[in-house]
Chains A and B, each alone.
Chain A
Amino acid sequence: MEAIVYICLAAMLLFGILAVMHHSILKSAIWLALASASLGVLMYTMGAVWSSLFEISVCSGLVTVIFVSAISLSNTDKGELGKLYEDKKRMSLLPVVLIAGGILLFAAAALQLFSVPDAAPAAAGAEDFAEIFWNSRQTDILGQMIVAITGSVAVVALFKERDIL
């Protein structure tokens, strides 16, 4: 199980760097979603089922949908955005970030900083997950649905350039 923790940490680092460094804002949003999904898996592995649920559904799912909608509706010239994000100094710092991240991961593994709980959620079974999702957190499902609708309306209200009439 601990291997999954370190794989997730490495994936988060990689996807996070890609999200920051990529020239296309659309692809950056997708890399960010993958970084967030890795964090969700990490939380689930470490026993924080509720947090993982919200991380995956809200941060990785909903926020990405809103980002992509906003980008597509704002009609910004992708070429111009690409130019804005071209920054050679940041590119030169990339190896430093990768090496520092690798050292931190290696140190964490050597010192066994991340211990996976005995009753990991995978062992607890899918039934607990369903119980939490559908029963204990039912109001948050309603909340998430409304957040999704509000986010969509907000994107249309603020980013749609064409007048309604």
Chain B
Amino acid sequence: MQPVGIITVLFFAVPFMVIVINTLLPRHAAEKTCLYMAGAVAVIQIVASVADFFFIASSGNDAYEFALLWNLKNEGAERLSVDSLSLVILFCIGMVALISVLVANRTIENKRTIFVDLLMTLLLGMNGMLVVTDLFSLYVFMEIIGLSSFVLIAMFKTEEGLEGAFKYLIMSVLAGVFILTGLSFIFMHTGSLLFRDVSSGILNGLSGSQSVPVYAAFILLIAGFSIKTGAVPFHSWLPDAHQSANTAVSILLSGIVIKVAGVYGLIVVTRLFSEIPAVRITLAVMGIVSIITGALFALKQDHFKRIAAYSSVSQMGYILLGLSTGSTLGLLGAVVHIFNHATFKSTFFSNAAALHEQVGTLDINKMGGLQSRMPVTGFSSIAAFMSTAGIPPFAGFWSKLLIIMSLWDSGFEVAAGIALFSSIFTAAYFLRLQRKVFFGKLPEKFREIREVGGSIKFAEILLTCVNIATGVAFPLALIYLKGRGIV
């Protein structure tokens, strides 16, 4: 077995081991140690994805295909695959999981073992979705993500949490029905659900009426994965679910779950249906509408987490615009924006955890002048806001630049213009948030407030460093990609 194979197995073996250890340990011991184990899993995932990336890059191959343990010596039985795209997202999963664990250390007092077990099943679901090469398996792992997320939102049994989880469950079921029906249409037509069999030539040789099931499958799959993405008009569940969950869970949902369960599914669909012209137009229209609608809704919100949630709807629009181009540059922009969004959205939710712990509220109308009392939280929030708005030298500037360039190159000049000017909306809702929370007059009752300590502060500093370092070092990455002929 090659080193890359051994490393890839870790993506599944390590979370499994943590669940087993959690189950075997006495309850009190498990409650004390489980967050450390979860943190270790996240770090291992980060290291493993980086190592895999360089092993594959140095081998000169685009991807590494492998089989499960009992099929290792069976030629042609490879049904799993990792490539550069999946490894970047696997890295993001590790990073967001680590931040979630750091925040959970302060926000979750009871039921830590259950939180960690559900985090591990969520990781297994997300990792699985990224390595399968079959549409049905993709659906199975997507449902694992949905089930784990639903229970993570509901597990503390608050009224808000249960309501948010219920909305998420209903929309997840709807998405599942759409996707499963779409898969049956594809299976009817091709007799297989392997990616390589459901190729872009799916429409070849079909007359008008024969191609109807293929178009129906395309519409159903786009609708199903768009629900999971939280793109407009399928976004109604997202703000409630993200606001009502514990902040450690909100980080997971907004930071990575919508990207793996939704955006990655859309990436697969756009690859499989690339010959259908409607793919590009559909994603472009949904992208533009999501950017503007999400931003306008964010402007009207008064709850910190709700603003961050609507901001996610808006930022998913940029990712959809990148995918709509169908070009390598557009895909690169979308993937870099997935990474950047994971970074700055995790920062905002870490800020939310800090504010809730120190101030006791997340209503932005009840705050003000907190920059002087909580400088680390204030600075990290401003850095995340500037990255979201695409202001250089922060990381978000580069991904938005790549997306706008790819739109222009692909003949979507109007969409490029809208994407560019929509940054004004992003700046507007985050400037309002910054002004109301961190600037202005400090209310008398907040005079004694101190900066948050411990793991949340560490998470804020870590994410801000990643944000700035990515922004500064990204030109080097572009030179490397240009050298390999990718851009």
A residues contacting B by CB (< 8 A) are 134-136, 138-144, 146-147, 149-151, 153-154, 156-158, 163-165
Contact = CB atoms under 8 A, between A and B. Distances in A.
Contacts of B328: none
B428 interface: no
A143 B154 CA distance: 23
Interface of B: 12, 19, 27-28, 31, 67-68, 70-71, 74, 77, 79-80, 110-114, 117-118, 121, 124-125, 128, 132-134, 136-137, 140-141, 143-144, 147-148, 150-151, 154-155, 157
Given A149-B121, A150-B148, A164-B31, A142 B67 contact: no
Interface centre among A140, A143, A149, A164, by most chain B C-beta atoms within 10 angstroms, is A143
Contact of A153 (B112, B121, B134): B121
A157 B143 contact: no
Contact of A151 (B113, B133, B147): B147
Contacts of A147: 140, 143-144, 147
Contacts of B114: 153, 156-157, 164
B64 to A, nearest CB: 15
6 contacts: A140-B140, A146-B141, A157-B111, A157-B118, A164-B27, A164-B113
B110 A163 contact: yes
A154 B128 CA distance: 19
Given A142-B12, A150-B121, A153-B118, A158 B155 contact: yes
Nearest to B16: A149
Q: At the interface, is chain B mostly helix, strand, loop or mixed?
A: helix
From DSSP, what is the main secondary structure of chain A's interface residues? helix
A111 B118 CA distance: 51
Residue in A134, A156, A157 with the greatest tally of chain B CB atoms within 10 Å: A157
B71 A135 contact: yes
A153 B68 CA distance: 24
Given A142-B12, A146-B144, A158-B151, 19 more contacts: A135-B74, A138-B77, A139-B133, A139-B137, A140-B136, A142-B128, A143-B128, A147-B140, A147-B144, A147-B147, A149-B19, A150-B144, A153-B19, A153-B114, A154-B147, A157-B118, A158-B155, A163-B111, A164-B113
Contact of A142 (B28, B68, B147): B68
A138 B134 CA distance: 11
Contacts of B136: 140
Interface centre among A136, A139, A164 (most CB of B within 10 A): A139
B350 to A, nearest CB: 24
A157 B121 CA distance: 13
A17 B292 CA distance: 52
Contacts of A154: 118, 147-148, 150-151
A139 B134 contact: yes
B110 A150 contact: no
B110 A164 contact: yes
B129 to A, nearest CB: 10
B152 to A, nearest CB: 8
B141 A143 contact: yes
A136 B77 CA distance: 7
A138 B67 contact: yes
Nearest to B148: A150
A149 B124 CA distance: 10
Given A138-B67, A153-B118, A157-B151, A146 B77 contact: no
Contacts of A135: 71, 74, 77, 79
